[in-house]
Amino acid sequence: MIELDARGLSCPEPMLMAKKAMKDAPSEEVSIAVDSASARDNIARVARIEGRDVTVGYEGDGWVVLIK
């Protein structure tokens, strides 16, 4: 599993990080921590467009988006 921490980063950087991880390792799960609702939504949208399953969970000071 690839784990990314995008807390404190502004869009579109978290989404671009997730997109790069999905491209570089298409068979790997990607977990990305974010503290922005817009980053959470953008990452989930892009992952679903790519045909991936997405689970979002609230954790501490933000969310963790799990891309399968």
The per-residue pLDDT for 6 is 97
From residue 44, alpha-carbon distances to 2, 16, 39 in Å are: 16, 12, 8
Answer whether 33's CB lies under 8 Å from 63's CB.
Answer: yes
Cα torsion at 54, 16, 7, 35 (round to 10°)?
A: -50
The pLDDT value recorded for residue 49 is 96
Low-confidence ranges of the chain (pLDDT < 70): none
pTM to 2 decimal places: 0.91
**What is the CATH architecture of 2-67?**
2-Layer Sandwich (3.30)
pLDDT attached to residue 32: 98
Residue 18 pLDDT:
96
Asked whether 26 and 52 are in contact (CB, 8 A), the reply is no
Give the separation between CA 63 and CA 33, rounded to whole angstroms.
6
